[in-house]
Amino acid sequence: DTGVSQDPRHKITKRGQNVTFRCDPISEHNRLYWYRQTLGQGPEFLTYFQNEAQLEKSRLLSDRFSAERPKGSFSTLEIQRTEQGDSAMYLCASSFLDSQETQYFGPGTRLLVL
Amino acid sequence: SQQGEEDPQALSIQEGENATMNCSYKTSINNLQWYRQNSGRGLVHLILIRSNEREKHSGRLRVTLDTSKKSSSLLITASRAADTASYFCATNQGAQKLVFGQGTRLTINP
């Protein structure tokens, strides 16, 4: 399967702990996106990369959040000092370098902060 | 913030009937995409319609786009139990990111 993959699929952590999620995009895709989805809502944009450059960050992405895509392939999203409000599904998507292109989503990482 | 709005928020129909969902948005767009999400899973891309297109078909799916009214509709014909899911429209405003609505929760009753 050459779709977008995410790891882990589920994460339970205690408030104050740090967590890191990984996304592996479709191999030939230049763009990689992170979204967050809370229960009953649609996904909300967090940030995106074009190759290794992080080109846009949402105001939702507080300074406790950091995302990287060091070699222009996989990406990591780290949340420091987690809070209960961080509990959500974190979705990764990738696409070709074209604003008209479809974004393909991974299965998501469901985070629960206790 | 979410720009799109789907209508209805929830829809329950009998298997074999057609299901229609509507989406409205507020700003000009490059394209509009529809996604399906089964409970607790990732999003599956269904169809993309560009701003210069008015209608598009894919299998049992028919999407229309009215840019003058800033609205789109998704029609699923001959519904099946497997169509039970949440459906989201997402607009691409030329800024790379997708802006999603809150979704329509579709239930197909056998």
Run of H or E including A32: strand A31-37
In tens, the pLDDT along B88-102 reads 999 987 667 889 999
The reply to whether residue A40 touches residue B102, judged by beta carbons under 8 angstroms, is: yes
Chain A interface, best mutation among B29, B97, B100, B102, by max A CB count within 10 A: B97
Q: What is the pLDDT of residues B32-89, one digit of tens each?
A: 999 999 987 789 999 999 999 999 999 999 999 999 999 999 999 999 999 999 999 9
Task: Encode pLDDT of A35-92 as tens digits.
Answer: 999 988 999 999 999 999 999 889 888 899 999 999 889 999 999 999 999 999 999 9
Residue A1 is predicted with a pLDDT of 53
Q: Which of B2, B45, B50 sits opposite A42 (nearest CB)?
A: B2
Cβ within 8 Å of residue A56, ≥6 positions away:
A47, A48, B95, B96, B97
Asked if the C-beta of A51 comes within 8 angstroms of chain B's C-beta atoms, the answer is no
Of A87, A90, A59, A89, the closest CA to residue A77 belongs to: A90
- Above 90 in pLDDT, residue A20? yes
Q: What is the pLDDT of residue A59?
A: 87
A65 touching chain B per CB within 8 A: no
pLDDT of residue B92: 82
- Report the pLDDT value the prediction gives residue B1, as an integer from 0 to 100: 44
**Distance in angstroms (rounded) separating the CA atoms of residues A83 and A15:** 5
- The Cα of A72 is separated from the nearest Cα of chain B by a number of Å equal to 17
